[in-house]
């Protein structure tokens, strides 16, 4: 049995131990459970956020992750069923979808502090949290499809990717669109009102 020594501010220690006491858990049990979770899952059960990180920073980072994962989903949907690299790409996509889903779930409330920069009027009850929760729902669909690939995997993933693209652009209106990378244009939906030829 090893001993772990940590330094904690006095006030934080008192507050945390009050919470643990209310739940009937000792500090030793809490630390043991944290270490057990780390050993079993290979990741933290929470996000360690730099003190200087703002909701806008997290929001923008999350959108970049969404774009990367959506590109991966589309690439899986385009792979032939007999492609030798398909199982590995599916495993990688599955891992990234699960990871993004967890990241969004952990950060949705924190990101709610982002104020919309879109000049178009919005309804009073419109909330980024709803869009992020719908995003999680789409990621769950992708995870479910990737866990046991069926013959209609490509169609399912294309549908999910389309939904994620729409949600991505809804969420992008909450931040400075010009701050997003130029590659965003590659997944921007077509404008149905746009005409390439003069009337």
Burial of 99 (0-12, 13-18, 19+ CB in 10 A): middle
Residues 55-187, CATH architecture = Up-down Bundle (1.20)
Task: Give the residue, 8 or 122, on which the prediction is more confident.
Answer: 8
Model confidence pLDDT, tens digit, residues 59-75: 989 999 999 999 999 99
d(CA 199, CA 197): 6
Closest CA to 161 of 177, 146, 179, 182: 146
Q: Can you give the pTM of this predicted structure?
A: 0.64
List the chain domain ranges. 10-41, 55-187
Model confidence pLDDT, tens digit, residues 164-180: 999 999 888 887 655 55
Mean of the per-residue pLDDT values for the chain?
A: 80
Mean pLDDT of 68-97: 93
Backbone conformation region of residue 123, classed left if phi is above 0, alpha if psi is from -120 to 50, else beta: beta
Closest CA to 168 of 141, 140, 142, 189: 189
Model confidence pLDDT, tens digit, residues 103-122: 999 899 888 877 766 655 55
């Amino acid at each position: 049995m090893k001993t772990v020594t940590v330094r904690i501010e006095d006030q934080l220690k008192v507050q945390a131990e009050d919470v643990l006491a209310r739940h009937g858990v000792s500090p030793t049990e809490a630390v043991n459970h944290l270490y057990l979770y780390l050993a079993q899952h290979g990741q933290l059960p929470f996000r360690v956020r730099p003190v200087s990180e703002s909701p806008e920073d997290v929001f923008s980072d999350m959108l970049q992750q969404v774009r990367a994962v959506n590109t991966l989903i589309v690439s899986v949907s385009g792979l032939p069923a007999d492609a030798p690299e398909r199982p590995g790409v599916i495993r990688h996509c599955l891992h990234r979808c699960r990871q993004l889903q967890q990241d969004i779930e952990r950060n949705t409330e924190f990101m709610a502090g982002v104020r919309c920069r879109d000049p178009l009027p919005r309804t009073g009850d419109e909330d980024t949290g709803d869009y992020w929760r719908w995003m999680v729902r789409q990621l769950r669909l992708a995870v479910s499809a990737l866990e046991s690939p069926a013959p209609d995997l490509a169609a399912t993933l294309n549908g999910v990717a389309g939904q994620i693209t729409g949600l991505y652009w809804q969420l992008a209106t909450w931040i400075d669109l010009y701050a997003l990378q130029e590659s965003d244009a590659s997944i921007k939906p077509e404008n149905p009102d746009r005409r390439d030829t003069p009337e």
